Homo-oligomer: A and B are copies of this chain.
Amino acid sequence: MNFCSQCGEKVRFAVPEGDDRSRYLCDACGTIHYQNPRIVAGTLPVSGSKVLLCKRAIAPRKGYWTLPAGYMENAETTQQAAIRETHEEANAEVTLADLYTLIDLPHINQVYMIFRAELVGGFSAGVESLEVALFDEHEIPWEELAFPTIERTLRHFYHDRPLGHFPLHSSTITPEDRERYFGSA
């Protein structure tokens, strides 16, 4: 951020009076520009014994497999965002179950929220996907998953499924986790 989005003057990065962290400040109009984490909402779509994955058609991690997920938009709910992303990436309708993984990625200011979901009807590659397919557990392309959030969500699912109990899993992905992950990809 270089300029004030309100008045167009130059901003500076400093701690506002009464605050304890640096913000982009506009001395001309007085606006403080707060920046906050973004939610990535998505689903783990299940059809019988299989899970739906999408092969990414866009950067980052083009060509790698992911669960349908993307940035939550203004004016929608987390559940609407998860359903919309599933529709956009896989042309798939789903019935949502509970929130399943809540994963913080503080180093990139993201919070992942993945809901379990039941696939209803067919599917096909949306514009951001090269391919969409159903996988049994032994078919999951573990070495070709796009992000550590996706691997973690699938690992939880295959742990919980035999137990028939799917509690919310909250966790954090650190820069070290991420480096280890992309290092091995």
Contact = CB atoms under 8 A, between A and B. Distances in A.
Interface string A82-124: 0000000000000000110010101101010000000000000
A79 interface: yes
A184 interface: no
Contacts of A76: 37, 106
A11 B109 CA distance: 25
A102 B78 contact: yes
Given A3-B4, A5-B3, A8-B3, A74 B36 contact: yes
How many copies of this chain does one complex carry? 2
A36 B104 contact: no
Nearest to A33: B5
- Chain A: interface size category: 35 or more
Given A72-B37, A76-B106, A109-B74, A2 B2 contact: no
Which among A18, A21, A33, A74 has the highest number of chain B CB atoms within 10 Å?
A74
Contact of A74 (B5, B37, B77, B102): B37
Contact of A36 (B4, B38, B127): B38
Given A3-B3, A3-B5, A75-B106, 8 more contacts: A5-B5, A8-B8, A35-B74, A37-B73, A37-B76, A77-B172, A79-B170, A80-B106
Interface of A: 1-8, 10-11, 18, 21, 24, 33-39, 71-80, 98-99, 102, 104, 106-107, 109, 111, 127, 168, 170, 172
